[in-house]
Structure 1
Amino acid sequence: MPLAMAKHILVKTEAEAAALKKRLAAGEAFDLLARKYSLCPSKKRGGDLGEVRPGQMVRAIEQVIFKKPLKTVHGPVKSSFGWHLVQVYYRDN
């Protein structure tokens, strides 16, 4: 079964996610922005979701984690929880 490791930032609006993505592109640290702005409990770990397997995340996020390129910030991605920025740093397909 595939395994991946990812981190994310969850915010309420697409505009917030887009603004944070620009800050990340300018070189700000993902973990620091996650700790400050994310609404997810994972913010305590800098947005780190740990090991993820198919079926554990909502579909929109799973599509990013298991199909998109590694070490790239993807998003804003909409889910039922809000808007996400997702970065996958390991995947074993």
Structure 2
Amino acid sequence: MARRACARHILVKTVDEANALLKRLKEGEDFDKLARKYSTCPSKKNGGSLGEFSRGDMVRAFDEAVFEGPVLKVQGPIKTRFGWHLIETIYRQ
């Protein structure tokens, strides 16, 4: 079972914003650019990158998406107490 992962995300306030951004990603827009422009998380300055972290470091729904969902595929919208996330797991180890 993976204990560490690297992921990036876009955090927005509403599910409608998240769905609109997901549509744009599916149409081929760049994750990095959308994160820098629309994310409300400080990670936006790094294109949404959260770097590498351990299982249990993030809130439950986020952690489950990263450690149990597909790698290199955008997941979401996923709701946490911070808002709505679009999450892409880069790798797990």
SS in 2 for 1:85: strand
CA distance in 1 between partners of 2:56 and 2:73 (Å):
22
| Cα distance in 1 for residues equivalent to 2:68 and 2:53 | 13
Tell me what 2:89 maps to: 88
Q: Secondary structure at the match of 2:70?
A: coil
- For residues 9-44 of structure 1, the C-alpha deviation after alignment (integer angstroms, 9 at most, x for no partner) is 000000000000000000000000000000000000
CA shift at 1:55, angstroms? 1.7
- Residue segments in structure 1 that go unaligned for 5+ positions in a row: none
4+ runs deviating over 4 angstroms: none
The alignment yields a C-alpha RMSD, in angstroms, of 0.8
Q: TM-score, normalised by structure 2?
A: 0.97
TM-score (ref. length: structure 1) = 0.97
In structure 1, the partner of 2:26 is 25
1:1-93 to 2 correspondences below 5 Å:
2-92=3-93
